[in-house]
Amino acid sequence: MPILKVRKYPDPVLKKKALPVKTVGERERGLIEDMIETMKLSEGVGLAATQVGVSKRIIVFNPSCDEWRADALINPVIVKKRGSEKKEEGCLSLPGINGLVNRSTYIRVEGLDIKGKPVCFEAMGLLARICQHEIDHLDGILFIDRLSPVKRFMAKRKLKKELK
């Protein structure tokens, strides 16, 4: 399985809004397998297709740190959310940067599974946070966009140094 190149800030693809997947076929399934492999090797807990340069609404995630239980969701939509909590986040596209981001503590997500079947699940804690972070990617939003202007400015300055 080929390992995909994770796009780093300020790659313009990260700012693009991804398009919905019309049919889930071999190409999409292959992409998902490669994304999961890439996430695993990068030691990430989530990855969006936009991060590997593909403008399609697909995310993969692995909220369990101890065991490997990765899953994928196609055309994910948050249909319900509740609560809010500020916690530290990082991103494979923003190396060396962390920041406190406010997210809902509970979400209900709908989408398609790897076979193209409609699925719906509820998520709390880390999984809820990962899903919100990855769905943001599909809309061209990075976690630094959710920081205060001062924190964002500092994060971007640090990024420039990291990426030199």
Which of 68, 67, 61 lies closest to 92, judged by CA? Answer: 61
Residue 99: CB minimum distance to Zn ion, A: 11
Q: Which residue's CB is nearer to Zn ion, number 91 or number 112?
A: 91
Residue nearest to Zn ion (CB): 91
Between CA 37 and CA 4 the distance in angstroms is 8
* 91 near Zn ion (CB under 5 A): yes
* 127 near Zn ion (CB under 5 A): no
Q: Which residue's CB is nearer to Zn ion, number 31 or number 130?
A: 130
Residue 155: CB minimum distance to Zn ion, A: 13
Which of 27, 25, 48, 26 lies closest to 38, judged by CA? Answer: 48
Residue 116: CB minimum distance to Zn ion, A: 25
Size of the site for Zn ion (CB under 5 A): 1
Q: Which residue's CB is nearer to Zn ion, number 75 or number 137?
A: 137
Between CA 153 and CA 139 the distance in angstroms is 21
Judge whether 67 counts as a catalytic residue. no
Q: Spot the catalytic one: 33, 110, 134, 162.
A: 134
Candidate ranges 1-9, 86-94, 115-123, 153-161; the one touching Zn ion (CB under 5 A)? 86-94
Distance, C-alpha 71 to centroid of its chain: 12
Q: Which residue's CB is nearer to Zn ion, number 91 or number 135?
A: 91
Contact at 8 Å (CB) between 138 and 18?
yes
Q: What is the 3-state secondary structure (H, E, C) of 87-149?
A: EEECCCCCCCCCEEEEECCEEEEEEECCCCCEEEEEEEHHHHHHHHHHHHHHCCCCHHHHCCH
* 4 near Zn ion (CB under 5 A): no
The token duo for 161 is 């140094």
Q: Residues interacting with Zn ion, by CB under 5 A?
A: 91
Question: Which active-site residues does the annotation give?
Answer: 134
